[in-house]
Amino acid sequence: MSRTIAVIDYGMGNLRSVSKAVEHVADPGDRVLVTDDPGQILAADRVLFPGQGAARDCMAAISDHHLNQAVREALESKPFFGICMGLQVLMSHSEENGGTDLLDLIPGQVRRFPEVRDERGRLLKIPQMGWNRVRQRPHPMWRGIPDESRFYFVHSYYVQPDDEGLVVGITDYAVTFASVLARDNLFATQFHPEKSAAAGLRLLRNFLDWDI
């Protein structure tokens, strides 16, 4: 049976890369829509919520596109995949831009990486930009992906949920941080699966097949 997969467009995500990656792993009859139409988002079978940029700009763009309610309803009703800033804006509050209130769909904070020196005394570069390992905690979305597989990250901030039980992926950079959260029909990653080669494509395929 064909499925409709909506990629939410609020002007702040790497939409072409995400949509092309999903098309690559989708079945021939599936439709991938890049859309800011709340009706299309809520009618879709599955929803991806990508994002990049600064927290305040992302929140303003979501509001400008009148997507706050559609995101909330989609998150409550269907398989939902948040990517990078599409994870962070689900939280309650971010330290970015001097403090920014977020969608508050997952209680918790978004913290900036601390300044940390490496073994040679050099400051660790912020943002983290490049490949890093993810230590998995049990979740069906990891099917077929070896533990400690490497994924592609670009970020200066990381999420800190109030409920540690939501964390299903952990990564080390400056601190040990939650790189993947999951709850019910939600799965959200700090890394970019669409830029993460075979492991990222497998994760997207698992999302299409995820039976919640």
Encode pLDDT of 76-124 as tens digits: 999 999 999 999 999 999 999 999 999 999 999 999 999 998 888 889 9
At residue 144, the pLDDT reads 98
Global pTM value: 0.96
Q: What tens digit of pLDDT does each residue of 19-49 get? A: 999 999 999 999 999 999 999 999 999 999 9
In this structure, are residues 76 and 93 in contact, taking their beta carbons and an 8 Å threshold? Answer: no
Report the alpha-carbon distance of residue 166 to residue 45 in Å, rounded: 23
Report the alpha-carbon distance of residue 116 to residue 41 in Å, rounded: 41
Give the right CATH number for 4-209 from 2.40.50.100, 3.40.50.970, 3.40.50.880, 3.40.630.30.
3.40.50.880
- φ, ψ for residue 132 (rounded to 5)? -150, 160
Domain boundaries, the chain: 4-209
Report the alpha-carbon distance of residue 86 to residue 50 in Å, rounded: 5
- Using CB atoms within 10 Å of the CB of residue 13, give its burial: 0 to 12 exposed, 13 to 18 middle, 19+ buried: buried
In this structure, are residues 123 and 117 in contact, taking their beta carbons and an 8 Å threshold? Answer: yes
Report the alpha-carbon distance of residue 200 to residue 145 in Å, rounded: 9
Q: Active-site residues: which are they?
A: 84, 192, 194
